[in-house]
Amino acid sequence: MLLLNAGDGFVEALFQLVEIVRAIGYLYQCLRQLFLGGPVEREAWGSAQVLSPGPSSFSLYELPVHMLRCYDVVTCMLTLMHILPENRLQIFQEMNRVLKPGGKLILSVKNALFERLSKTDRFASSDITDSDQKRLIFTNTRSGEHITAPWYSFSPQDIETLCVYVRMSVTHLRGNTPFSAWIADSLLKDPKVYAAISQIEDIVGDVPPFNYFGYYLLVEAIKPLL
């Protein structure tokens, strides 16, 4: 299995690198269990293809031509919110282009629906999410200066529409912390309350309409075989 990490954490719109799966060929299944739930099937992913192209960076807007239909899985975690809305379709087209037929796209984004209904900022303890001004302010930097990045969250409908445009099908859409994100921290400090809410979230996190109200959206989409 060949996996491409198309963004991880607070990075700009640059590809970090081709990540090669070695000795853990069932990595995709582990990611799927971690973010979306479901069993881990070791045997199905037990024989990973081992390649070593070496580290390099590519523009997320225009990936190299040789990447056409190369990857079984493309992941993009908490990066797409820094992309201007008018450029989203191009990014999705590129991620779709490098996926093999039947390949999986796994991504996480901040939920715009949550931001419309709540100003609660649980993104990071030291950074400031200013959804009104469409910016993320990094406050705890090495230089001591504040750094501002664009911030455009996604609604569930945004994700589904973009996938339709690139002919991918959303197979799972999970709302992360669809209940606890709305509850005061003082209540969540009670271990019994937290445990009870977590159990409920595990059950209904990918069930409509509860999944639409999570703080983050965790998405799996598949590229058609034909």
User: Quick one: pLDDT at residue 124?
Assistant: 62
User: Quick one: pLDDT at residue 78?
Assistant: 87
Pairing relation of β-strands 71-77 and 99-110? parallel
User: Quick one: pLDDT at residue 195?
Assistant: 94
In the block, tokens 């709540």 appear at 118
Largest Cα span, the chain: 53
Phi-psi region at 112: left, alpha or beta (left = phi > 0; alpha = psi -120 to 50): alpha
Q: How far is CA 181 from CA 17, 35, 93, 143, 194, in A?
A: 32, 17, 32, 31, 11
Q: How far is CA 133 from CA 3, 66, 150, in A?
A: 35, 39, 9
Q: Is-contact 174 214, C-beta < 8 A?
A: yes
- pLDDT tens-digit map of 127-182: 888 999 999 998 888 888 898 999 999 999 999 999 999 999 999 999 999 999 99
Count of Cβ atoms closer than 10 Å to residue 20 Cβ: 16
Pick the closest to residue 34 from 225, 224, 205, 207 (CA basis): 205
**Cβ partners under 8 Å of residue 127, min gap 6:** 136, 137, 138, 139, 140
User: Quick one: pLDDT at residue 13?
Assistant: 33
Q: What is the pTM of this model?
A: 0.76
2-110+153-222 CATH choice from 3.40.50.300, 3.30.428.10, 3.30.310.80, 3.40.50.150 = 3.40.50.150
Could you give the CA distance from residue 166 to residue 73 in angstroms, rounded to a whole number? 16
Residue 159: strand, helix, or coil: helix
Pick the closest to residue 177 from 156, 155, 206 (CA basis): 206
Going from the first residue of the chain to its last (226 residues), give the mean pLDDT of each consecutive group of 10, the final group possibly shorter: 67 35 46 53 39 50 80 90 94 94 95 91 76 89 88 96 97 93 90 94 92 94 94
**Domain locations in the chain as residue ranges:** 2-110+153-222
End-to-end CA distance of the chain: 20
